[in-house]
Amino acid sequence: MSIECRFNIVRTDFVLDVDLMIPLTGVTAIFGPSGSGKTTFLRALAGLENNKGYLKVGDTIWQDEKYFLPTHQRSIGYVFQEASLFEHLNVKDNIEYGFKRAIESDQSVMHRAIILLQIEHLLGRRTDELSGGERQRVAIARALSLSPKMLLMDEPMASLDEKHKKEILPFLENLHAELDIPMIYVTHSIDEVAHLADQLILLDEGKVVGNGKISEMLTRLDLSLSHGERASSIIEAKVLEHDEHYNLTTIDFSGGQLFVPRKQLPVGCDVRLRVEARDVSLTAERQTQTSILNILPVIVDEISDESDAQVIVRLKAGDDLLLSCVTKKSAELLQLQKGKEIYAQIKSVALL
């Protein structure tokens, strides 16, 4: 199942021209700088832009040359950048507004949304008695209560301060883990992408510059995401075992095993790791006398200039990909080239 869309939206100061296939599973992040057309694209999916184009969701055509399915008949949940709660209704009535009109309403879904977002105690409140984070949680629950086929989110955290962002993020990760509903998530924050996204669509000036799996997109050296301070790779892994003596947790992925300070996670549970390019160094021989625990055999896949003095190297560790930022001098010394077998020393791994 997937979404097939072709939009050509011309505004006075801006043109959005996209032709995309989006899988109807997991979280797809639409990422790009402001003004790149992310929000316009999401609004077009919802039928909120009065635009020409083609849109097919699963087997159903939502829009073509002759036909336009109006927003209220599209099975979507939409979360706007500002919570946009109805101020003439209290929290409960806001949530029930959509539920009562849902195409396939399911009381258990509404209750689950209320519990998942922990807003039971807010149901009787007026909307102006809520904090920014609470408002956005109510808005997300309101959208979920429709039992939609997909959830569209337009930078749901952009209008929140850091404290409230930290409050919302776990809920969004929960949605990702608990609900079997595809999410299309517009953001300009690479941290949110790293936490949430399975697929990534990169937009710039109204055009798609990349579309694919998050781990591939973050490590494609021809795209901007693999360069700069925060360049990093994402690895899906599993908790293998806990070392009680040294208080370490062993994590297993296709490229080998990694040790991290002990986490309270059950053995066998899925985890997502983020490894920053600046934390990965390269060595020709496996070092034994070193404080670095995480050393993996890798194969050089691609090399690209980062600055006058540095290169960024993409490495294959099993089926997963890593980035490493090293000096040009080191690259020459190690005779780095595609296909070369080498060792990556990983100084730090973040569990997301």
Partner 1 sequence: MLNEFDLAALIVTLKLASISTLILLIIGTPLAWWLANSKWKLKPLLEALIALPLILPPTVLGFYLLISLGPHGAVGGAMQWLGAQPLAFTFAGLVIGSVIYSMPFVVQPLQNAFVAIGTRPMEVAATLRATPMDRFFTVAVPLARTGFVTAAVLGFAHTVGEFGVVLMIGGNIPGETQVLSIAIYDHVEALEYGNAHILAGGLLLVSFIMLVVVYSLNRHFSLLQRSSR
Residues that bind partner 1 (CB under 8 A): 46-48, 70-73, 76-78, 80, 82, 84, 86-88, 97-98, 101-103, 127-128, 142-143, 146
Q: Note whether 148 and 77 are within 8 A (CB).
A: yes
- Cβ proximity to partner 1: between 125 and 207 the closer is 125
Tokens coding 16: 């959005």
- Cβ proximity to partner 1: between 19 and 87 the closer is 87
Give me the least distance between CB of 94 and partner 1, in Å please. 9
Burial class (CB in 10 A: 0-12, 13-18, 19+), 231: buried
Residue 9 forms beta bridges with which residues? 16
Give me the least distance between CB of 150 and partner 1, in Å please. 12
Q: Note whether 223 and 312 are within 8 A (CB).
A: no
- Cβ proximity to partner 1: between 113 and 303 the closer is 113
Which residues make Cβ contacts (< 8 Å) with residue 46, sequence separation at least 6?
A: 71, 74, 76, 78, 152
- Cβ proximity to partner 1: between 60 and 73 the closer is 73
- Cβ proximity to partner 1: between 57 and 323 the closer is 57
Tokens coding 303: 């090399």
Give me the least distance between CB of 103 and partner 1, in Å please. 7
Give me the least distance between CB of 46 and partner 1, in Å please. 6
Return the SS3 of 316. Answer: strand
Return the SS3 of 241. Answer: strand
User: What is the Cβ-side half-sphere exposure of residue 228, based on CA atoms within 13 angstroms?
Assistant: 8
Amino acid symbol at 163: K
Give me the least distance between CB of 88 and partner 1, in Å please. 4
- Cβ proximity to partner 1: between 86 and 246 the closer is 86
